[in-house]
Amino acid sequence: MVKNFEDMQLAGKESADIAMKSFGAVSKASQAIATEVADYSKKAFEDGSAALEKLFGVKSLDKAIEVQTDFAKTAYEGFVAEATKIGELYADLAKESYKPFETMIAKAK
């Protein structure tokens, strides 16, 4: 009976340790994602403001269309690059949060 109780305590401690490791990985990855999103938002706002400033300074319709087209192209490329980067960060989050459970699953087999 005592042996079973000790085994249960050990299993409970191991589960708690694994959960804490997983939570640490999720916390760290979430912070990286939040920082990346904040940096991108700041850059996108600055780029948009600069484009709007350029747009106010143009004197012809052709130049206005050129400025707007350049801004749209740059904004789209930046968005695609950032979406790819954030997608990779989320994939890393999933991998890192699952890693601690791999040992537990391997022991169960």
Question: What confidence tens digit (pLDDT) does each residue in 81-91 have?
Answer: 999 999 999 99
What is the chain's mean pLDDT, rounded? 88
**Where do the domains of the chain lie?**
2-108
The per-residue pLDDT for range 43-75, each reduced to its tens digit, is 999 999 999 999 999 999 999 999 999 999 999
Q: How confident is the model at residue 2 (pLDDT cuts 50, 70, 90)?
A: low
Q: What is the C-alpha to C-alpha distance for residues 5 and 3, in angstroms, rounded to an integer?
A: 5
Instruction: Give the pLDDT confidence score for residue 87 in this predicted structure.
Output: 96
Q: Exposed (0-12), middle (13-18) or buried (19+): which is 13, by Cβ within 10 Å?
A: exposed
